[in-house]
Every structure is written in C-alpha cells, then in structure tokens.
Amino acid sequence: MNHPRSAFGAPPGDRRAPPASRGTASGPAKPDPRRPLGSAPVRGSRTYYHFKPYNVGRWIVWGLFALVLLLAPKLWTSSFAHTMLSQMGIAIIVCLSYNVLLGQGGMLSFGHAVYSGLGSFLAIHTLNLVSAGKLGLPVSLVPLAGGLGGLLFAGALGYVSTKKAGTTFAMITLGIGELVWSMSLMLPEFFGGEGGITGNRVAGTPMFGITFGPQVQLYYLIAAYCFVSTAALFALTRTPLGRMLNAVRDNPERVEFIGYSTQQVRFLAFIVAGFFAGIGGGLAALNFEIVTAEVVGAGRSGAYLLFVFLGGATFFFGPIIGAVLMVIALVLLSELTQAWLLYLGLVFLFMVMYAPGGISSLIMMNLRLAAFGKLRALWASYLALAGTAFVILVGAGAMIEMIYHLQLNAALGPEMKFMGATLNSQRFDTWFGAAFVLVTGIALFELTRREFVRQWGTIQEEVEKEIKRRELL
C-alpha cells in the first residue's frame, strides 16, 4: 500500500535510490541481534527505503498537472474564464502555502491573508516603481517582490506567533491579523486608504513581445508560478524540514527530545508559507491591478482556512481542490444566488461533521476501495445518495431563496424564479410544497444513508481482511 502522502507524486528531480541491493521480498537477512549499536554494518541487511524502481505514476500526475495548466485557457476561451482561471492559479498557490501551516504543521492560522495581502501591496508598489521607470525589473518578476515581502513579514511577525503552538498560536495570528487590518486604515500612504492602490501591469520593456496586457498572457505567467510553487511545496514535504514539520504537528513534545527545537521548525515553516503566500499576493496584484485593504482582512484569512479545510488538509493536493472551489464559490456562486454565503456555511458545516478530511480524503478513501476492486458495489448507493441529496437541496433551496426574496426583493413582487420554475413567495401552497419536498428528501436521504453506512462498513471489513491476508503472504 502506498502511503497516502505519496499520492501526488514527487517533483522531477527527486532521484530514487537504485533498487540493486534490495533484500528478498520477505525481508532481508537478519543481522546478529547482539551486534552493538553503531558497529560495522552487515552488508546483507541493506535495504533502501525507496525500492520502487521508477515511479511512473508521479511523472504522469505532474505531466497531467502541467497539461491542465497549459490547456485550460484553450478549453475555456472567454475572457471571463481566463480571469477565473487566473484567480484559481493564484488561489492554488496561497492555499497550498496555507496548508504548510494547517495540514503539515498543525498550525491553525487565522491570519494568512496578512502575508498574501502584504505581498500584494509590496508587489503593486514595486509595479508602480517599474511603471515610473525607477526600477528596471521585468513585470514577470514582480510577484517575487511580493514573495519577498511575505517572507520578510512572516519572519518578523512569525517570530512572535510561532513561539507558541495550538490555541495560543491561533490567537496570536488572529491578533496580528486585526493589527495589520487596523494599520491599513492608519497608513494610507502604504495601503492607499479606502480606494486602495492601483497599478498598470503593462510596464517596463516587454520581453519577447509579452506585455501581460491580454489576460491570457498573464494567465500563463500565473500558471508558471503555480506549477513551480506547487512543485517546490511538494518537494518541501520530502525534505528533513518538511518531515520534522509533520513530527511537530503530531507530537511537539517528543520532537524536543530528538534534537529539534519545535519553535525553530514552526518558524521556518511559517516563513516558507509567508513567502509563497506573498507570491500568490503578488500575482493577484498583477491580475487585478488594484490592491485594497480588504486583502489583508480577516474575511480573506477565513476564506483560506475554510476552503483549505473543504479541499482537505490531510493530503498535499487537497488545497488545490479547495482553491478551485474557492474561486468557483466566490465568483460563480455569488453570481447565482444572494444566499451563497449561507449555502457555503452549510456545506462547511456538513463537511466538518461528516467528512473532516475534506474532499481529498473522500477521494482517497474511494481510490483505496477502487484499488481493491470494491468501488463498483457502491455505485448504486452513491447515485441514490446524490439523488436524495438533490431533493433536499431543491426543497431547502426553494425556501431559502423565498426568504431572501421576501427580505431583499419584496419590491419586485411576490413572483420569483427558482431553478427554471416560477414560485410565488407569498402563497401558502408554495411554502407547503417546498417543505414537503424538503422533508421527503431528508427522509429518503436518511434511509439511503443508513443502507450506505451498512454497506460501507461491510466493504471496509472485507478490505481489512484482504490486507491481513496479503500481509501473511
């Protein structure tokens, strides 16, 4: 069985140890157990941790990732789509950087937007210097200025917050977030006050005719940064620092007794997270060409936390899913309905309660079943669950939308559109109908859920038995 973390593959350049002197399948020859520690090794006992000859899977995964980044703007060609894709690329970087803290280091930060936001501000000021001809920096490197800004602020502020872990850490990040937010109103020279700071990304001398004027050019810049950042952050999980960060998450006390300072590990991780958040912020500055104080606000920090959690903090690729969802929710869902925040809150609530590992853990659980050939048995249940959940959504959605309509759009009359149908939000039978659909949906869902739980349990048992059987072989 692969360890879950290896699912995403390693970046190119992670060299494998040669499989040459691996022991037999049942384990290598046992050395003399009485041999004292640190004496000359027995040659026959050498096994290498990475004995997989060549990891094809990870090249495929990274190749696909690059391909998706390359081809996405060819598939969705509208300029609106390009804007969204650009935002997704930026969000991926920031969410992955946040997960260095949350998923890998067990640090619940409520102020990650401070570093992406301050990165944005530094980048836009840098961009304006370039525009004014005072700085001979190509626009494509401006995000690095943002990254440097994020790194410096993470170094300064992180020194305070990483002194502690757990709740204290969370509180300090919250405090720092508020501090920076209030500073943004006190220092209009830097933060631009209410109006923010504007810039123009078509600045300096274009290289190879690339001006970054058209959105698609900027998209490819973002995609390049996104790929490199993802690879770098994945590589980090394979290094001594990355592993010790996991150790600090699992058991900070023990880490202190194997030679590492937990504070130092947290601090370094915090700086890394700040750097990549700053790069994301810098790209956002180029993308929007305006940076307002809200980018350092608690709302933004909360969104990073929420969507990284939704995507799943346990797995490296979870935040990527979360980032894509974040842009979809913030851009598309908010267009679709006024009640989008309510829906988002409900989704978050159910996720925390029923799938605390996020979407990525749901995917991995099902991949595990698929690996044992058990997924087919669940298809019918999944369909039934999705169907009944949809019925609940229709019922609940109708009621929520009617409430919002009554509260906010009463001047437009009682009629409103919902999923193609016209509903009268003031008539009793509409409400009764919606409630009926909702209750029926809940009842059916609960029935299918119970059946599913039973089925799931049986299959898990079968898988466990299978694993035991294979272990004995």
Interacting residues with other proteins (CB under 8 A): 1, 3, 10, 14-17, 21, 27, 30-31, 33-34, 36-41, 43, 45-50, 235-236, 238-244, 246-247, 249-251, 253-261, 264-265, 268, 272
Q: How far is the CB of 235 from other proteins (least distance, A)?
A: 7
Look at residues 95, 281, 277, 301 and name the one whose alpha carbon lies nearest to residue 178: 301
Q: How far is the CB of 17 from other proteins (least distance, A)?
A: 7
Residue 257 CB, nearest approach to other proteins (Å)? 5
DSSP readout, 241-305? Answer: HHHHHHHHHH-HHHHHTTT--HHHHHHHHHHHHHHHHHHHHHHHHHHHSEE-GGGGSHHHHHHHH
Residue among 98 and 110 whose Cβ is closer to other proteins: 98
Q: How far is the CB of 387 from other proteins (least distance, A)?
A: 36
- Give the bridge partners for 415, in sequence order: 424
* Residue 120: HSE in the Cβ half-sphere, 13 Å Cα cutoff: 30
Q: Say if CB 377 and CB 459 are below 8 A apart.
A: yes
Q: CA 329, 332, 333, 335: dihedral to nearest 10 degrees?
A: 140
> Could you tell me the two tokens for 305?
């936390």
Structure tokens at 438: 């909702």
Q: How far is the CB of 106 from other proteins (least distance, A)?
A: 10
* Burial class (CB within 10 angstroms; exposed 0-12, middle 13-18, buried 19+) of 127: buried
> Would you state the structure tokens that stand for residue 115, as one six-digit string?
């570093």
Nearer of residues 33 and 209 to other proteins, judged by Cβ: 33
Nearer to other proteins by C-beta: 36 or 136? Answer: 36
Q: What are phi and psi of 200, to 5 degrees?
A: -135, 115
Q: Which tokens sit at 230?
A: 């993802």
What is the H or E stretch that residue 423 is in?
A: strand 421-424
Q: Which is nearer to other proteins, 6 or 381 (CB)?
A: 6
Q: What is the DSSP letter of 210?
A: B
Nearer to other proteins, 200 or 261 (CB): 261
To other proteins, the closest distance from the beta carbon of 99 in angstroms equals: 15
- Pick 243 or 449: Cβ nearer other proteins: 243
To the nearest 10°, the Cα dihedral for 402, 405, 411, 413?
-30
Tell the smallest beta-carbon distance from residue 83 to other proteins (Å). Answer: 34
Cβ-based nearer residue to other proteins, 156 or 467: 467
- Cβ 42 to other proteins, closest distance in Å? 9
By three-state DSSP, how is residue 22 classified? coil
Token pair 């650009």: residue: 86
Closest separation between CB of residue 313 and other proteins, Å?
A: 12
**Considering beta carbons, is residue 210 or 241 the nearer one to other proteins?**
241
* Closest CB to other proteins among residues 23, 188: 23
Residues whose CB is less than 8 angstroms from the CB of residue 264 and which lie 6 or more positions away in sequence, other chains included? none
Quote the least distance from Cβ 43 to other proteins, whole Å. 7
Measured from the CB atom, is 439 or 467 closer to other proteins?
467
